[in-house]
């Protein structure tokens, strides 16, 4: 095989490896990030049920953790996903904190439901599925 | 704006590298699948360049995928003649000794005017001069003229002439090309001697200097007419 042939073969393999790596990383990153948000949502619901409302340290701490975790994940997701598609989730998470401060329980749970809805929707359009391919 | 500048540079470099990787075909020499690839890549590359909310990877990943596909198709074409014909089509004879093959023209969606245009491009102004015209898979027309209209060649005239040699650029726009010195098997001192002979003092005054293996020198100073002269034959010039 000539030098050019070897170079092309190596390039082919490198590109193939790169594409595979990107696809795997994206899939794991998306699944991991969304699962984390979902788990925080359930934990917040549980904490608010156990403590009889949203005005307590545990819920506030969980919302803070959710915000920190989402910011980290959002930064990573921006390498793979259109920023505009995921920004609304961050907005809803910030709203949760405001609702705790203003003691607006109904709005808080509405926002929590919206966050869960976004997570479900993101799983549909970000992950690799037959629907997305077509 | 800085983001757009950096993104444009990244995408430009990636696309440039990938095109170099795919080969040096000119636009007019492209096979249909290569043309499709070029059009899609051009379109894909511009999306993340201008749209900041779209990750650069959204432009690069599909382009890399297409290049990968191109490699596979090219490889399959090289090992299978049938696949190559399926992908790029087959050359079609549109003019044969009986004249224009109208059926072939219709299959190619060509008109008689298109054929005239193509054969004129090859230097023939009458169908009568053409023995065969073949529409190649890259869309170019190849023409074989009838014997009486073929240009006379050296072989026809049975002449003995020296082999053509490629001159090597030694000085280009005032800069000496060291790699070419090695190819021409001469050194800088010999170059300076040649310049002295032409009454040129500095290398940077030279617009172009070439030399071939027979020692024929072409020398042009900035703003002056070129001069040619013969020096003694140098070392073997690589052709």
Give yes or no: residues B107 and B78 share one domain. Answer: no
Q: Which positions in chain B touch A15 (Cβ < 8 Å)?
A: 64, 67-68
Domain membership flag for residue B235 = no
At B28 the pLDDT is 61
Residue B162 lies in a domain: no
B69 in contact with A, Cβ within 8 Å: no
- ipTM, interface predicted TM-score of the complex: 0.76
- Find out whether B209 and B227 touch, Cβ atoms under 8 Å: no
> B68 and A79: CB-CB below 8 Å?
no
pLDDT value of position B237 = 47
Query: Which chain B residues are closer than 8 Å to A79 by Cβ?
Result: 55, 57
Query: Is B8 a member of any domain?
Result: yes
**Domain span including residue B105:** 92-149
Q: Is residue B67 part of a domain?
A: yes
The answer to whether the Cβ–Cβ distance between B57 and A18 falls below 8 Å is no
Q: Kindly state whether residues B136 and B173 are assigned to the same domain.
A: no
The reply to whether residue B54 touches residue A80, judged by beta carbons under 8 angstroms, is no
To which residue do tokens 């809803």 refer?
A92
Separation in Å, CA of A39 to nearest CA in chain B:
27
SS3 string, A4-48, reads HHHHHHHHHHHHHHHHHHHHHHHHHHHHHHHHHHHHHHHHHHHHH
Residue B31 lies in a domain: yes
Quick check: A9 pLDDT over 90? no
Print pLDDT tens along chain B (239 aa): 787 888 889 989 988 888 888 776 655 667 777 788 888 888 888 888 878 888 888 889 999 999 899 889 888 988 888 888 888 888 999 999 999 999 999 988 989 999 999 999 999 998 889 999 999 888 889 999 998 888 888 888 888 777 777 888 999 899 999 888 888 888 888 889 889 988 888 899 999 999 988 888 999 998 889 998 888 776 554 44
Distance from CA of A69 to the nearest CA of B (A): 21
Write out the H or E segment, with its range, that includes residue B176: strand B175-176
Across the interface, do B67 and A82 touch by the CB < 8 Å criterion?
no
Name the residue among A19, A82, A84 with its Cβ closest to that of B68: A19
**Residue B54 with chain A: CB contacts under 8 Å:** 82-83
- Domain match, B76 and B26 both: yes
Q: Chain A contact for B78, CB < 8 A?
A: no
Look at residue A61 and give its three-state secondary structure. helix
Residues of A in CB contact (< 8 Å) with B are 8, 11-12, 15-16, 18-19, 22, 78-84
Inter-chain touch B71–A84, beta carbons under 8 Å: no
Produce one character per residue of B26-60: b if its CB has 16 or more CB atoms within 10 Å, e if not: eeeebbeebeebbeebeebbeebbebeebbbebbb
Contacting residues of B for A80, CB less than 8 Å apart: 55, 57
Tally of domains in chain B: 3
Interface A:B, Cβ pairs < 8 A: 32
Judge if B202 and B220 occupy the same domain: yes
Residue B222 maps to which CATH number?
Answer: 3.30.240.20
């Amino acid at each position: 095989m000539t030098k050019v042939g070897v170079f092309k073969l190596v390039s082919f393999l490198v590109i193939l490896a790169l594409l595979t790596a990107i696809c795997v990383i994206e899939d794991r990153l998306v699944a991991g990030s969304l699962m984390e948000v979902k788990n925080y949502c359930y934990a917040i619901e549980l904490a608010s049920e156990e403590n009889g409302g949203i005005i307590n340290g545990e819920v506030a701490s969980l919302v803070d953790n959710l915000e920190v975790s989402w910011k980290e994940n959002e930064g990573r997701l921006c390498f793979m996903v259109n920023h505009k598609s995921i920004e609304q989730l961050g907005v809803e998470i910030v709203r949760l904190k405001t609702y705790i401060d203003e003691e607006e329980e109904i709005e808080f749970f509405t926002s929590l439901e919206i966050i869960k809805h976004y997570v479900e929707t993101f799983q549909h359009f970000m992950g690799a599925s037959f629907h997305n391919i077509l | 704006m800085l983001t757009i500048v950096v993104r444009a540079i990244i995408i430009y470099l990636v696309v440039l590298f990938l095109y170099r990787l795919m080969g040096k075909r000119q636009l007019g020499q492209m096979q249909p699948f290569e043309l499709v690839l070029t059009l899609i890549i051009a379109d894909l590359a511009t999306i993340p360049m201008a749209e900041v909310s779209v990750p650069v990877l959204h432009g690069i990943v599909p382009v890399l995928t297409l290049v990968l596909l191109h490699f596979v198709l090219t490889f399959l074409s090289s090992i299978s003649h049938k696949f190559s014909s399926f992908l790029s089509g087959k050359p079609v004879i549109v003019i044969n000794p009986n004249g224009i093959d109208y059926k072939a023209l219709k299959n190619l969606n060509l008109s008689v005017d298109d054929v005239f245009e193509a054969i004129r491009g090859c230097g023939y102004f009458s169908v009568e001069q053409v023995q065969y015209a073949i529409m190649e898979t890259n869309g170019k027309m190849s023409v074989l003229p009838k014997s009486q209209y073929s240009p006379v060649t050296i072989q026809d005239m049975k002449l003995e002439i020296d082999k053509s040699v490629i001159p090597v650029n030694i000085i280009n726009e005032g800069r000496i090309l060291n790699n070419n010195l090695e190819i021409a098997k001469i050194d800088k001192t010999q170059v300076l001697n040649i310049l002295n002979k032409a009454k040129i003092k500095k290398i940077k005054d030279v617009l172009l200097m070439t030399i071939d293996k027979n020692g024929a020198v072409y020398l042009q100073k900035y703003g002056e007419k070129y001069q040619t002269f013969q020096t003694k034959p140098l070392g073997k010039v690589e052709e």
